[in-house]
Amino acid sequence: ASSPSPSKLADAPHRAQQTLAHPHIFADAAMAAVATVSSAGGILAMLHEPAEELKLHALASLNSVVHLFYPEISTSIPTIESLYEDEEFDQRQLAALVVSKVFYYLGELNDALLYALGAGPLFDVSEDSDYAHALLAKALDEYASFKTRASKATEEEENVDPRLEAIVERMLEKYDKILPFVHILLFIRWSIQLTVTLCCRCVLDGKYQQAMGMAVECRRLDKLEEAIVRCDNIHGALSYCINLSHQYVSHREYRCEVLRCLVKIYQTLPHPDFLSICQCLMFLGEPETVANILDTLISGSKDDALLAYQIAFDLVENENQAFLLNVRNRLDSQTPGQSNPDSGSALPVDQTVNAGTTSTEPAGDVQMGDDTTTANGNAHPVDPNEAAHADKLAKLKGILSGEKSIQLTLQFLYSHNRSDLLILKTIKQAVEMRNSVCHSATICSNAIMHAGTTVDTFLRENLEWLSRATNWAKFSATAGLGVIHRGHLQQGRALMAPYLPQSGAVGGGSPYSEGGALYALGLIHANHGEGIKQFLRESLRNTSAEVIQHGACLGLGLASLGTADEEVFEDIKNVLYTDSAVAGEAAGIGMGLLMVGTASEKAAEMLAYAHDTQHEKIIRGLALGIALTVYGREEEADTLIEQMTRDQDPILRYGGMYALALAYRGTANNKAIHQLLHFAVSDVSDDVRRTAVMGLGFVLYNEPEQTPRIVSLLSESYNPHVRYGAALAVGISCAGTGLSDAISLLEPLTSDVVDFVRQGALIAMAMVMIQTNESFDSRVGTFRRQLEKIILDKHEDTMSKMGAILASGILDAGGRNVTIKLLSRNKHDKLTAVIGLAVFTQFWYWYPLLYFISLAFSPTAIIGLNSNLEVPKFEFLSHAKPSLFEYPKPTTQQTTTSAVKLPTAILSTYAKAKSRAKKDAESKAANQEKTAEAESKANQEKSTAESKPSQEKSTDAESKAKTTEDASGSTSGEAAKTQEKDGDAMQVDGAAEKKAPEPEPAFQILANPARVVPAQEKFIKFIEGSRYVPVRPAPCGFILLRDTQPSEAEELVLTDAPATVATGAGNNAAAAAAGQGSAAMAVDDEPQPPQPFEYSA
């Protein structure tokens, strides 16, 4: 009893200070008569008073001063606790509150929470104090973890403290009072989300979001439902929840539960948002319901049909081939049931017709939808309603098959192609002929630059140069054609015909080009290979050359991506069991591609073979293949990942890293990140470490801002492999974002001491900067110049030179109209894109795999469609400076052109732009013609001034205008219109160039279809009162437009694209008669397939 409490000692100086101001010492001091308490001793003494009222009074006083005197009070906690435990005492809860606060100040949050629960209603959840905030956060944490634990072990009874539940429920009820707490909680739990919430708050009431977030976190779906239903903006709330469930619910099954709950709410609404429902259903994998919804919609009004189309387009964007196939099949089986009384007979007929087309027609053009339509149409030619329905159904299936979007994309990429041939020319001249690495890199760069545009001018102009590619380089070069013609579904076969293995003729071409052609076919039909599958299988079976097998395996894998087709699997497996290194590697990857995301037991089979074989190449191919099979399966994949990461063989551990990365792709799952980081620093094999770091990029691509922070330390590692991995991780996860942090991290790596690190950094940088122009981030310009310097430098290492060449390709990929996007607009992962990048990173071992990057490209376009799925004339607004998002300026021929002369060029353009602007006001087609003339004159002037910044471009445009005229031919109205469109495009250029003399306009009008880069999307506005109203106002991708004046004639654009006239009948003949035939049947403006190479080998 003799030792004083430490708290009293601690408090002593404080009191001593008070004493200084004691009136006994400074009696005369004219002090303000403000008294403060210096000790809680008096109040504590009062606790011992026998009278209840005094105890009460003491407790109340303590409650008000606890924040000042908790050290003193802490010694009396037993006294207060005994008050709380005293059943007779009528203010037990107050005592509990005081104890809770003291514990809180002592940092004992668990005890504090315990007593706060004891305080019952006295614990005020709406109080705005640190204490309340901290305890609430703690309470929620506890509750959420209770719930999570309870859900994990369901047999374990839920023994959640009912009091805790009561608190959380009170919180959820009071969500309108706890706004300040919103911030705190979000900070603790979802710090990133804070910004999102703040952004959304203007749109949606933040408090409800808060409630929803907590409900989701605490696994209280009932409360979630309540919050959503009570919210005044139900649609906003629901879409917020969907977002929430994708971003913050890490457990896959629980996420499904949340989504199911959301779908349930959606369906009870009077006007359900079918777009969102279908998205949810797709995630849940319920094609049946989606098919039902679509079917109901197309049976409805015209607007409903539009909506159905829009849904279909959105579903296609997510690239889930197996799901789409299911939906299509369900639609097939439903339609006869509804429209046809004798469904039993109609159904098999349809199917046989289908089967017949795919198997008998070697051309294999994907026309499944059309066939079915004709079958239906023939059966009931009389009923107009039914015919309309069948028509709509056919369109819908056309969309779902992906054909429509691929076709439109192809048209867009072709018509808007802005690739800069000069860059390629520079590269070609700089690269030494004998250096085959750089040579094939250049070919690859060309392929990437023109991916999906069908423009192969460069190849045709340099046939002789091209023919230097021998052996595997030839394989790659041929495969490159597939990238260029990607999505050219109708004529892909015909285009590749000259290189394909000829079944009849013996020894037609080299096996390398034949194999490459099969691979190219796969790239063309990637993820939409229904039609080509059969042909590829036959080619695979008919050959024993391992190079051709290699190409065929890759091609088959690509074409039947994720379909898990048993027969195809068997075919590829047979190749695998021949145990040939070259073919086996491709077979491994091909099997993986085929089984993407199925998590089938085939993986075990593959793993067993990987242990059996001696060939490293095969093991590597299988390792990647196994990783692909667990794509997106999250927790389900853990066993397999564990098995692989513990393997003795570093190559299988390497595969394990891929498995980890792909299983948890885009989830930012902490466990996965933790594991990857662990391997990145602890594994003995450089390959595994490199891949582990790279895997971070895949796991984090949904939160690109995080990646540079997480890998920043690794990017300074002593191990060049880790640095390389860090560069690619940033490149993958920040692809297409132009994120400043990412660029800052990559910049030093581009001048690393090790050549392959430079290579990786250059490629990654290009991926980050794709579609970012110099006015958006000045470092883009610096980077372009750096690339040029590296390419031109004679002494640069081959590795980094190759990186630079590829980087220039990626930077201007797809005619500058595509970006790398791993997430669809609805935050679903884009399977093809992720898979494409994953296999692409494998180029470290095998250059032909470089071409897989083309799978990751998605066009940055807004394409508006009317109810006939045609592209009407339609304009919208981009509310930002045009220069921010314009195409990069074409390079000039002579880089030495003096800068002094540039201003004159600008001035002339300015004058030109001004004069045109005046004329534009009149907006007459005739005037447009004149302008074009004036322009060409202006261009001539410019070229004489030796500065040709826009010459290339405008001549391009001009030639395009001409071809347009040719194409649309007879209808002069249309010709004028396309002219107008081109005029608009030039207007944009002109406006961008006149920055010096006049502030550039703050907005620009874009015409359908338009290039809209991702960063620009938030500036897009649809003009009010225009003829077409978008069904869904999201500013990207395919948008169905509702025509407000349906009686008037529609003006259509985008008729100048290739291959719209795909005639199914002619195709067969074309396929038979190889090169010439296909050229003949193509439209005038259709680029001709390059002549067969003269092989020197």
Partner 1 sequence: MDPKLVEVTQLIDRFKAAFKASNFDVCSTLLSQLKVLLTKFPSLPPVFQQTPNAVEELKLAREIYEQAVILSVKMEDQDAFERDFCQLKPYYMDTCGIIPPSSEEYPIMGANLLRLLVQNRIAEFHTELELLPAKALDNAYIKHGVELEQSFMEGAYNRVLSARQTAPHETYIYFMDLLVKTVRDEIAGCSEKGYDYLSINDAKQMFKFSSDKELQQYIAEVN
Binding residues (CB under 8 A) for partner 1: these are: 1-4, 8-9, 12, 15-16, 18-19, 21-25, 29, 31-46, 48-51, 53-54, 57, 61, 64-65
CB of 242 to partner 1, least distance (A): 52
Residue closer to partner 1 by CB (options 51, 153) is 51
CB of 72 to partner 1, least distance (A): 11
Closest CA to 988 of 416, 286, 317, 365: 416
CB of 49 to partner 1, least distance (A): 7
CB 349: neighbour CB atoms within 10 A?
Answer: 15
Residue closer to partner 1 by CB (options 65, 1079) is 65
CB 735: neighbour CB atoms within 10 A?
Answer: 28
CB of 51 to partner 1, least distance (A): 5
Closest CA to 562 of 402, 735, 406: 402
CB proximity list for 922: less than 8 A, separation 6 or greater: none
Token pair, residue 853, equals 């990057």
CB proximity list for 500: less than 8 A, separation 6 or greater: 493, 514, 517, 518, 521, 539
Residue closer to partner 1 by CB (options 65, 150) is 65
Determine the Cα angle at 566 with ends 562 and 567, to 5°: 115
CB of 102 to partner 1, least distance (A): 16
Residue closer to partner 1 by CB (options 43, 641) is 43
User: What distances in angstroms separate CA 771 from CA 427, 814, 913, 1015, one per listed residue?
Assistant: 20, 10, 25, 9
Residue closer to partner 1 by CB (options 53, 1094) is 53
Residues 556, 591 contacting (CB under 8 angstroms): no
The one-letter amino acid at 562: G
Residues 761, 730 contacting (CB under 8 angstroms): no
CB of 228 to partner 1, least distance (A): 46
CB 709: neighbour CB atoms within 10 A?
Answer: 11
Residue closer to partner 1 by CB (options 49, 966) is 49
Residues 5, 75 contacting (CB under 8 angstroms): yes
CB of 75 to partner 1, least distance (A): 13
Eight-class DSSP state of 872: B
CB of 80 to partner 1, least distance (A): 16
Residue 864: helix, strand or coil by DSSP?
strand
Residue closer to partner 1 by CB (options 34, 899) is 34
Could you give the residue ranges of the DSSP H alpha helices within 683-797? 686-699, 706-711, 720-733, 740-749, 755-769, 778-792
CB of 82 to partner 1, least distance (A): 16
Residue closer to partner 1 by CB (options 15, 962) is 15
Determine the Cα angle at 757 with ends 751 and 762, to 5°: 65
Residue closer to partner 1 by CB (options 35, 921) is 35
Eight-class DSSP state of 116: H
Dihedral of alpha carbons 270, 276, 280, 285, sign: positive
Closest CA to 406 of 869, 1051, 965: 869
Residue closer to partner 1 by CB (options 48, 201) is 48
User: What distances in angstroms separate CA 658 from CA 132, 690, 696, one per listed residue?
Assistant: 45, 11, 10
CB of 700 to partner 1, least distance (A): 53
Q: What share of the chain is helix, strand, coil (3-state, %, to 5)?
A: 65, 5, 30
CB proximity list for 933: less than 8 A, separation 6 or greater: none
Q: In what order do the strands lie in the sheet with 875-878?
A: 1004-1007, 875-878, 1020-1022
Residue closer to partner 1 by CB (options 48, 789) is 48
Phi, psi at 509, each rounded to 5°: -135, 180
The one-letter amino acid at 924: K
Could you give the residue ranges of the DSSP H alpha helices within 75-129? 77-85, 92-105, 109-118
CB of 123 to partner 1, least distance (A): 22
Residue closer to partner 1 by CB (options 3, 648) is 3
**Burial group, residue 347, by CB count within 10 angstroms (0-12, 13-18, 19+):** middle
Residue closer to partner 1 by CB (options 59, 763) is 59
Residue closer to partner 1 by CB (options 51, 899) is 51
Q: In what order do the strands lie in the sheet with 1037-1043?
A: 1010-1011, 861-865, 1037-1043, 1028-1030
CB of 65 to partner 1, least distance (A): 5
CB of 105 to partner 1, least distance (A): 17
Task: State the SS3 of 147-165.
Answer: HHHHHHCCCCCCCCCHHHH
Residue closer to partner 1 by CB (options 7, 250) is 7
Q: Which residues face 154 on adjacent strands?
A: none
CB of 70 to partner 1, least distance (A): 14
Residue closer to partner 1 by CB (options 61, 669) is 61
Residue closer to partner 1 by CB (options 36, 191) is 36
CB of 3 to partner 1, least distance (A): 6
CB proximity list for 835: less than 8 A, separation 6 or greater: 561, 593, 596, 628, 631, 662, 852, 855
Closest CA to 816 of 1086, 420, 461: 420
Residue closer to partner 1 by CB (options 6, 285) is 6
Spatial distance between the Cα atoms of 638 and 641, rounded to a whole number of angstroms: 5
CB of 91 to partner 1, least distance (A): 13
DSSP 586-643: HHHHHHHHHTTT---THHHHHHHHHHH---HHHHHHHHHHHHHHTTT-GGGGHHHHHH
How many residues can be counted in the chain?
A: 1097
